[in-house]
Structure 1
Amino acid sequence: MTSFISHITVDCSDAYSLSQWWKPVLGYQDVPGDPNLPGHHECMIVDPDGKGVSVLFIEVPEGKSVKNRVHLDLRPRADLRDTEIARVIAHGATVVGDHRGQYGPGSGWVTLADPEGNEFDIVRSLAEVAEQPAPAGAVDA
């Protein structure tokens, strides 16, 4: 018997605000019939197509103090990696590390942080990967 990922949980100080920030980044929405509202201590967002993993934001008393041990790797649905990085930075993300070109021209990713400091990466789109696969053994997919 095996398990599957039901949802990803993000500890935060303001569940509502962070869920609102992430919705346009992922193209997600509130759970139909269960809207997230200011003051909610738990806020779930879901993929409108039902294909992606849901994200649950839960308020906790302690703040983020160290690097994430688990993080999201985001792959652009349509745009190129660098276009998506620019869009998310314009939305308020901050750059934590730039790993583009680490495995040759066109490879790599950028590590960003959301408004509460939760880190995530943006990797190359599937079109970019098909055009120029990363070398064998490279972690850039």
Structure 2
Amino acid sequence: MATFISHLTIDCSDAYSLSEWWKPVLGYEDVPDDPNLPGHDECMLVDPAGKGMTVLFIEVPEGKSVKNRLHLDLRPREDPQDTEIERLIAHGATVVADRRGQYGPGTGWVTLADPEGNEFCVLRSPAQLAEQSAPTEAADA
């Protein structure tokens, strides 16, 4: 019999602060009736719509020292990729690598890092993907 992923755990030095940083990034909230508070060494966030994966932040003694072996790929729900990247940088993310256009116009991603250095990628929005796959007027002629 198969298993399923219960939640994604992110090791960190300050579970509360990092969960608070990620909350507006994902549009997530604390577990109802179990709020995250300063000093908690484990803080969980859930998708209020109940559709996304639960994320758990756990304090560990060691700091991040190498590239993540696993990372999140984020897709903006509505805004274009560039707008979402600007929002996240204004929120405190840092750019690790810009791979936009790597596979041709309108392709690619940008790798960012949260305040503790955990990398994540920002992909193009569903609207941008649909726009790219839509036939152009020249192709219809």
Structure 2 unaligned regions, length at least 5: 134-141
Identity of aligned residues (%): 79
- Give the corresponding residue for 2:109: 109
1:75 aligns with 2:69: no
Aligned length: 133
* Structure 1 residues 50-91: Cα deviation after superposition (integer angstroms, max 9, x where no partner): 100010000000000000000000000110111100000000
Aligned-residue offset at 1:10? 0.2
Larger Rg: 2
Q: Secondary structure at the match of 2:68?
A: coil
Which TM-score applies when normalising by structure 1?
A: 0.93
Cα separation, 2, equivalents of 1:116 and 1:83 = 23
- Give the corresponding residue for 1:32: 32
- Give the corresponding residue for 1:57: 57
- Give the corresponding residue for 1:94: 94
Structure 1 unaligned regions, length at least 5: 134-141
Q: Once superposed, what is the RMSD of the aligned Cα atoms?
A: 0.6
Structure with the larger helix share: 2
Q: Which amino acid aligns with 1:42?
A: E
After TM superposition, what 4+ stretches of structure 1 lie above 3 angstroms from structure 2?
A: none
Q: Which amino acid aligns with 2:81?
A: R
Cα separation, 2, equivalents of 1:53 and 1:45 = 9
Aligned-residue offset at 1:5? 1.5
